[in-house]
Amino acid sequence: MVFSQRLSIIYFVFTFAIIFVASAADPRQFPFTTFSEKTDQSIFHFTPHSSIDQGALQLTPDSENAEVSYSNKSGRIMYHKPYRLWSSDNEDDDGVASFNSTFLINIYREKDWIAGEGFAFLIASDWNMPEQSYGQWLGLTNATTDGNAKNHMVAIEFDTRKQDFDPDDNHIGLNINSVRSSKTVSLEAFDIEISPEVGTNYTVWVQYNGSSKVIEVYMAKRIINIPPVRPETPLMKEPVNLKQYLKQDSYFGFSGSTGSRAKQLNCVLEWNLVVQEFKTRKNMTLLKIGVPALVLLVVFGVILGVGYVKKRKRTTLEESIVLGTLKRLPGMPREFKYKELKDATNNFHASMILGQGGFGVVYRGTLRDFDEANATNESAEIAVKQFSRDNIKGKDDFMAELTIIHRLRHKNLVRLVGWCYEKGKLLLVYDFMPNGSVDRHLYKASNQNTLNWEHRCKILAGVASALHYLQNEYDQKVVHRDLKASNILLDSEFNARLGDFGLARALEQERNSYAELELAGVAGTLGYVAPECFHTRKATPESDVFSFGAVVLEIVCGKSPGIQIIHGQHQFSLVDWVWMLHREGCIEEAVDERLNSNYALDEAKKLLLLGLACSHPIASERPQTQAICQIISGTMSVPSVPPFKPVFTWPSMGTAYSSTDSTVSNVTLSRITVSLP
Ligand SMILES: *[C@@H]1O[C@H](CO)[C@@H](O)[C@H](O)[C@H]1NC(C)=O
Ligand SMILES: *[C@@H]1O[C@H](CO)[C@@H](O)[C@H](O)[C@H]1NC(C)=O
Ligand SMILES: *[C@@H]1O[C@H](CO)[C@@H](O)[C@H](O)[C@H]1NC(C)=O
Ligand SMILES: *[C@@H]1O[C@H](CO)[C@@H](O)[C@H](O)[C@H]1NC(C)=O
Ligand SMILES: *[C@@H]1O[C@H](CO)[C@@H](O)[C@H](O)[C@H]1NC(C)=O
């Protein structure tokens, strides 16, 4: 009896501790007065053509990416966490959460563009966007899904293009599961043009009263330096019971689209969202008891819990498993105290953020008295990766990364210095890389500061060597699964260090049938993912080689593999563009023009051909890492690449790499040079 009481008190204490930690760990929250590509990537879900650029959410391609076509695009950006829209405790109470959302939009178009197609504020059951939702579908629906109640979607559209079911090309509408609005309001009478010739910012207020179940939309031109004031009367005021259409937990965000001839930039510059919170009954009661009671509870919990905690040192089973696994790992690097890392990163201050990925935030830090053994007073620069708490899989990613990277030793891999698992927080500590990541140099630096040719060659040789080590020299094959320019870091001498092993998996030699492993929902970035992965959803050593090929082309051309290149009448992906230039006998035209001919022509041609060979659509035809290293070092001749890109076939006939027999790899090795006639 006493025991179970203690247990339940401990449970409450922990629940509160977890709620507290979870809310404190949220890095950025509403309101957003600007958006940062550095820190906000994981706060939103992006569809392929959407991004953060120039401090704004860009639903469709923006002017920064001039090589991307503006036409026929759609995109969605959703806040990463869903909101609970009604309480599940009380079935009879049909109240819905009230919310207020205010945002600043700029639906820009150039003077000779016809505006289109439109933009929408969206509440939806998930953050996926249907295919072919460009043009009139506004990134909301497509020809198949339009009108389907299973869309579970309510949106306010800002329509800039007239369809036959629209009143005009400048209206707002209430869209329920469809682009055919259940209510529209033309804006001409209000002297508002959504996408005028002269770029204009509009503040929009969308307010929902969950008891009267009425949605209201207000809009006002935003004049710079004058704070926005909501107009007295709404443009639209419509009853809508969200409970009837939406899921209980729904996402908030935006969508937008362009058409074939009609195009515009769909930008959100600021966003605030306040959703009324539904508390569960338990929480309600506890809140009524108030803070003093909570403090008492904690004190009692501690007093009563002491005996229990003494018996079982580890507080949760989960924690003990993690710690046990960590401590058993041979050659495990140093364990850090949470406080050391907190001090090193200036209390995880926002100014110390180096970057942010799907797995958490990376901070820069300085450790003092680092070398304890020699008792020197030197300080060391470190990078601390903090796994985010609301990523449920965070722990698995942490374990995967730790168990793999702690045993890898190679001069072109980022070195793991240590780890920390304390108070439910997972942290990994790496050497700090003063020159940041490769993509930063390729795209963010000014033209003069871009990587010079020697650096580019050195980086590629380093990455090839690291890849070869992972696939062959280490006692288990390791697939990195997320090889891309942003995961290649540079030390003070511009040596490449491959990092971010969050997705990496070790392939066990003796279990060939497991040689291919799940690629979590094809997590990789577009352009780096091998075509077969979209069918198998599995990463292999060959798909890492494909990603390497994309990196080679990217570094030599200075262009991202994800972009579309317009050449004459046609649009090409980066690899198709290089292949076309190769066919036309002028492959050197692909070399980054910012190098101004300051590069070795033969070497550049060699690397481009190697990049194409690695981009072979058929996995078994791609060179293996040993050949790649030899080609780069010049001890093996350049592969001959056919003038036309071979066709991707599925299922692939090849079986290379599924066996680990060394004779097989020799055979495959010799086949590469002749396999691309
Ligand atoms: C929304 O704003 C109105 C005032 O414009 C306010 O009365 C209401 O409480 C707000 N609702 C929420 C959920 O914050
Ligand atoms: C609409 O989207 C769904 C889901 O992505 C897709 O299955 C369907 O083929 C699409 N319809 C059209 C006409 O593209
Ligand atoms: C729109 O807002 C942005 C961000 O506040 C500002 O930089 C820009 O100058 C504004 N544009 C106009 C036309 O007011
Ligand atoms: C919401 O609607 C209810 C019922 O009509 C009303 O009493 C309440 O004042 C409204 N709330 C706001 C913030 O307008
Ligand atoms: C846009 O898509 C339509 C078909 O949906 C097609 O007819 C048109 O050529 C495309 N336009 C561009 C510029 O790609």
Under the banding of pLDDT at 50, 70 and 90, the label for residue 41 is confident
More confident residue, 178 or 640: 178
Burial track 207-220 (b if 16+ CB lie within 10 A, e otherwise):
bbebeebebbbbbb
Biggest distance spanned by C-alpha atoms of the chain = 84
pLDDT greater at residue 55 or residue 14: 55
User: Percent of the chain, pLDDT > 70?
Assistant: 73
Q: Give the C-alpha separation, 31 to 41, whole Å.
A: 16
pLDDT, position 172: 97
Distance 207 CA to ligand 4 centre (A): 11
Structure-block tokens of residue 126: 């998930």
Amino acid, res. 456: R
Query: Does 298 score more than 60 pLDDT?
Result: no
- Cα gap 574→551, rounded to integer Å: 11
Q: What does the pLDDT read at residue 531?
A: 83
How confident is the model at residue 598, as a pLDDT? 92
What dotted CATH number matches 438-675? 1.10.510.10
pLDDT, one tens digit per residue, over 442-471 is 887 665 667 999 999 999 999 999 999 988
Torsion (CA) 349, 355, 358, 361 in degrees, nearest 10: -20
**292 pLDDT above the threshold of 50:** no
Estimate to the nearest angstrom the gap between the alpha carbon of 9 and the chain centroid.
39
Residue closest via CA to ligand 3's atom 10 equals: 201
Which residues belong to CATH 3.30.200.20 in the chain? Answer: 329-431
Q: What is the pLDDT of residues 213-259, one digit of tens each?
A: 999 999 999 988 788 889 999 999 999 999 999 999 999 999 999 99
Distance 391 CA to ligand 2 centre (A): 29
Report the chain's mean pLDDT, rounded to a whole number. 79
Indicate the pLDDT class of residue 157, thresholds 50, 70 and 90. Answer: very high
The CATH class, in words, for 31-275 is: mainly beta
Q: Which residues line ligand 2 (CB under 6 A)?
A: 130-132, 142-145
Ligand 4 in reach of 325 Cβ (< 6 A): no
Is 482 designated active site? yes
Which residues make up each annotated binding site? 385
Which residue in the list 482, 500, 544, 592 is annotated as catalytic?
Answer: 482
Give the tens place of pLDDT for each residue, 390-432. 544 556 666 766 777 777 788 999 888 888 887 777 888 888 9
User: Inter-axis angle of helices 453-468 and 601-614, to 10 degrees?
Assistant: 40
Confidence of residue 183 (pLDDT cuts 50, 70, 90): very high
Specify the pLDDT at position 396.
Answer: 66
Indicate if the pLDDT at residue 13 is higher than 50: no
For residues 31-57, average pLDDT? 88
pLDDT band at residue 478 under the 50/70/90 scheme: confident
Q: What is the rounded average pLDDT of the residues 363-381?
A: 68
Q: If you measure from the C-alpha of residue 274 to the centroid of ligand 1, how many angstroms do you get, rounded to a whole number?
A: 8
> What are 113-136's pLDDT values in tens digits?
999 999 999 999 988 899 999 999
Summarised one tens digit per residue, pLDDT across range 570-627 is 889 999 999 999 999 999 999 999 898 899 999 999 999 999 999 999 999 999 999 9
Contact 296, 154 (CB under 8 A): no
What is the C-alpha separation between 368 and 137, in angstroms, rounded?
Answer: 57
Residue intervals of the chain classified under CATH 1.10.510.10 are 438-675
**How do residues 492-539 score in pLDDT, each as one tens digit?**
899 999 987 666 666 543 332 223 334 443 345 678 888 887 777 777
Which CATH architecture does the domain made up of 329-431 adopt?
A: 2-Layer Sandwich (3.30)
Instruction: Report d(CA 151, CA 176) in Å as an integer.
Output: 9
Residue with tokens 């070869």: 468
Given this model, what pLDDT does residue 288 score?
45
Residue intervals in the chain for CATH 2.60.120.200 = 31-275
Of the listed ligands, the closest to the CA of 210 is 4
Ligand nearest to the backbone CA of 234: 1
